[in-house]
Structures are given as structure tokens and as C-alpha cells.
Chains A and B, each alone.
Chain A
Amino acid sequence: MSYIVRARGIHKHFGHLHVLKGVDLDVAERELVFVIGPSGSGKSTLLRCLNRLEEPSSGSIEVAGIDMLDARTDINHARQHIGMVFQSFNLYPHMTALGNVTLALRKVAGKSRAEADALGQAALERVGLADRATHRPLELSGGQQQRVAIARAIALEPKVMLFDEPTSALDPELVGSVLAVMRSLRDSGMTMIVVSHEMGFARAAADRVVFMDDGLIVEQGPPARIFESPAHERTRAFIGQIQRH
């Protein structure tokens, strides 16, 4: 099996807080890994360590064959291979949807404006928003904004996509449209790591569910096993709580 992500012994301290206490995570090509766990368990921090938005305190991280923690690694180049989608979308409010998608294509991937516009338009097409290219973020619904954010990431043709609670800030009726886009991404063979509480989506689409608590991976396995017959008491308690809602 060829792995896109290999993380070993990741520790992260925020001052006195020990947020990650030695996490190992391997993600295979085309795999969809779902990371669940109570708030404060370190799942978002783990995700943000993978593209070095957070600097891990120790450990090793390899993404698409690049040693992410090597001082000689060009981090800006490496990040092109790692798409990231945020809870709060973080679209650039002063640019159109197309402008959001094409900025990195022009400034990082070195495309001409015409090339970038064509690729950007194609990316918006993939998330079903080709007709919103000239709209500004504030003229779009939350679901549409998040889909533009996904288009912004996939336009760079990343090797892996990180989703940090992509639907948590959305009104319930808008969640479906974002999950549908994630589903089609998954069907196209994108490797994905998703931090989310969308258990229905996890059941339907994930290859593997990772349960984290208190800075450690407690257990992991196929969604059916984690959800139906978790091995650990903490997993059972967490899943019980989630499913009651």
C-alpha cells in the first residue's frame, strides 16, 4: 500500500497544555479517514499539524513523499499538495468566487490569468457553482461559500484534502449540499481526512474511523465496527452521546 500521509509520534504543546500526546496516523492513497472525538481531544490540532498551520512540538510528518518538518522543505510548495477546508470557510471577502479560487493558481502555481480562470471555472463546476463565479462571498449562502472554499482547495489538484469540521458552521438544511460535494470528491478518488460530527456521512463514505480522546488515538477501524461494537468504553460513551442527538 502506498501512503499519502505518514505521521509519527506527533506531540503538540500549547504552553502548559499537552494537546497531542504522541499520535501516529497513516493514510493510504484514495482513503477517506474520519476523525471523531470530543471537543478538545486534539483532532483539529492534529489536522492543522499535517500542513504545519500548527508547528508540532515533536514527531515526523511525511505528506506525498515530502518531509514536512525538514527545515529545508519549501513549505509553500508542499502546501499546494495539501488542500484544506475550514469550519468558517475563510473565503476572501474582497474577491469574487472565481477570484478566491484562482488566487493561488496564479500566485503559487504560476498560471496565467487565462489558464487560472479556466481551471478555476472548472473547479467551481465540480462543486456545482459555475453560475456563481462572479458573486462575492457575502452574496452566497453558507453552503455555497463552503463549496467555493472546497473549489479553492481542489483547483490546485492536491494529493490529500483536510476537512476541519466543514459543516459545523452551517444551517442544517445547507449541510447536505456540502456533503454531496465531499461525496463526489471521494468518488473521484481523492484522499481525504475529515474531522467532523457528521456520523451519517462517516458511516456511508468513510473507509476508516479514528476516535481520539485527550490527545491520543483511542481506537480506529471500519465505521461499522467503531459505531456498532467499539472496543473501548470511552468510544462507546462518545458514540452513545452523539447518537442520542
Chain B
Amino acid sequence: MKLAKYAKFRQEKFGGVLFETRSERVYALNATGAAIVREIGAGCDELALVDRMNDRFRDSGGSIEREVIAFTANLRQQGLIEE
């Protein structure tokens, strides 16, 4: 899993922005979304991503896994990440 060819990420104080330059769409991310996208940009796969977010946010209820999966599915649907 990696950022799509035309997707550019930049960290911001509020979280981050994802800019899909082919469609010229811009997406704002909150801090959590930015953390996930940063890991994806670093080449992290989905399983490792869940582990890292669990470590970072110390969740034991399984909500992180659900949120990460839903969020990455959303990114994939928008063409912002690819395998």
C-alpha cells in the first residue's frame, strides 16, 4: 500500500492535506488521518498500520482497527492510495 502517483501529502498544524493533482482535489486531514497517511507514505501495510495506531493511541477496544480499515477504504475509493 502506498500513496497514489498523483497524491501528495503535507503535514500541517491541524493535521495534514492530501492533494490529488490530477483531479486537482484537495483533502484536509485531522491529526489522526494525517498520522495514518504519513505511515502509508512511508510504505506501511494495513496490518502494520493498525499495530502502529494501536501503539500510538493505546486502544484496546478494537475501534482503531475499524477506523483504520474504514479510512484506508475511503482513501482507496478516492484513488489516493494504491497497492
Do the two chains bind?
A: no
